[in-house]
Structure 1
Amino acid sequence: MEYMSQEGYDKLVAELQQLEKVELPQVRDAIAEARDKGDLSENFEYHAAKREQGRLLGRIRFMQRVLENARVIDTSKLSSDSVGLLCKVDMTNMNNQAHMAYTIASPHEANLREGKISIKSPIAQALLNKKVGDIVEVQVPAGMLKLRIDNITRLI
């Protein structure tokens, strides 16, 4: 079972519909068009379209499984006194006094450019259930990070 936000769930549903209703029919048309060109053994367009069809079908099956096991979290029932899923955590790196903020998200919603890290990441795992003022140490590839939690905000 995967917990996620309503926004993340809606994005996955929209992407799945895009794949099923737009991209897959385009690939099927490309296969039919390439098949009409004759000899399939040396037809690059046909083999490329078949590979793309396989990739799309695999992605569609994966997304269907994710959505079948997804549970949307009701954020109104969550407290903001400790770090958990769908929390924005403001913290200070005690090694260099740099300030950073991350939102703890499901693995399917994680996107570092948007400031969302996976709940399964080492930093999120170290932050879980901690409170404002707590200092956590976490081992990352660059070394040991020492982080102080400055603020916790629940997403609405």
Structure 2
Amino acid sequence: MAEEKTYPMTVEGKQKLEEELNTLKTTKRSEIIERIKIARSFGDLSENSEYESAKDEQSFVEGRIKTIEQMLNHAEIIDNGDIDADEIAVGKSVTFQELPDEEPETYSIVGAAEADPFAGKISNESPIAKGLVGHRLGEVVEIETPGGSMKVKITEVK
């Protein structure tokens, strides 16, 4: 039997997923059911774009509910208690500077379910995170990315 995939996440990330799941189940489902009911009242469903749109949204929401439930059922809460303070791991923030003289960048390394690059949260499965995890403050690391190799100096770990 294949091993179940686990989803590493922070406590905060798990709470956000639980909130999203609750909203989808309690609010979004009933809104869509109401839209479908209204669209059905328009008659012929074969040419009813409102009905098709509502059914498409219902499919998306039900799929998202299943995905979130799967992630929560197989969540692995990140515990960095055994990790040294200066070691990079999932659940920590890291600041690094691309060498020779780029501006410093700070990212939190989170599980894929929580990733949001625009909010400074990168997936532990991303090339940058993979290249940084396990390294320590002050180290110079060579990271392979799809855009090529980059050399960075780790300047802060929180």
State the TM-score, normalized to the length of structure 2. 0.90
Q: 1:74 to 1:142 in 2, by over 3 A?
A: closer
2:143 counterpart residue number: 138
Structure 1 residues 92-111: aligned runs within 5 Å:
92-111=97-116
How far residue 150 of structure 1 moved from its aligned partner, in angstroms, is 1.4
SS at structure 2 position matched to 1:131: coil
TM-score normalised to structure 1 length: 0.91
Give the Cα–Cα distance (whole angstroms) in 1 for the partners of residues 23 and 80 of structure 2.
Answer: 28
Tell me by how many angstroms 1:115 deviates: 1.1
**Unmatched 5+ residue regions in structure 2?**
1-5
Match of 1:123 among 118, 124, 128: 128
Tell me how many residue pairs correspond in the alignment: 153
**Shift of the alpha carbon at 1:97?**
3.4
The alignment partner of 1:34 has SS state of helix
**C-alpha distance in 2, partners of 1:142/1:96?**
18
- Partner of residue 25, structure 1: 30
Distance 1:76 1:139 in 2: 29
SS of the equivalent of 1:92 reads: strand
Overall identity of the aligned pairs, in %: 34
1:68-87 matches, within 5 Å, as 68-87=73-92
Q: Helix, strand or coil for the counterpart of 2:108?
A: strand
Runs of 4+ in 1 over 6 A off after TM superposition: none
Q: Is the 1:95–1:145 contact (alpha carbons within 8 Å) kept by the matching residues of 2?
A: no
For residue 75 of structure 1, report the CA deviation from its aligned partner: 4.2
1:42 aligns with 47
* Aligned partner of residue 124 in structure 1, secondary structure: helix
- Partner secondary structure for residue 37 of structure 2: helix
Q: Which secondary structure state, in structure 2, belongs to the residue aligned with residue 136 of structure 1?
A: strand
**Deviation sequence 1:51-78 (CA, Å, 0-9, x none):** 1111111111111101100122234444
More off after superposition, 62-71 vs 142-151: 142-151
Gaps (5+ residues) in structure 1? none
Q: Distance in 1 between matches of 2:80 and 2:149?
A: 32
| C-alpha contact (below 8 Å) 1:133/1:150 kept by paired residues | yes
Instruction: Provide the secondary structure at the position in 1 that maps to 2:113.
Output: coil
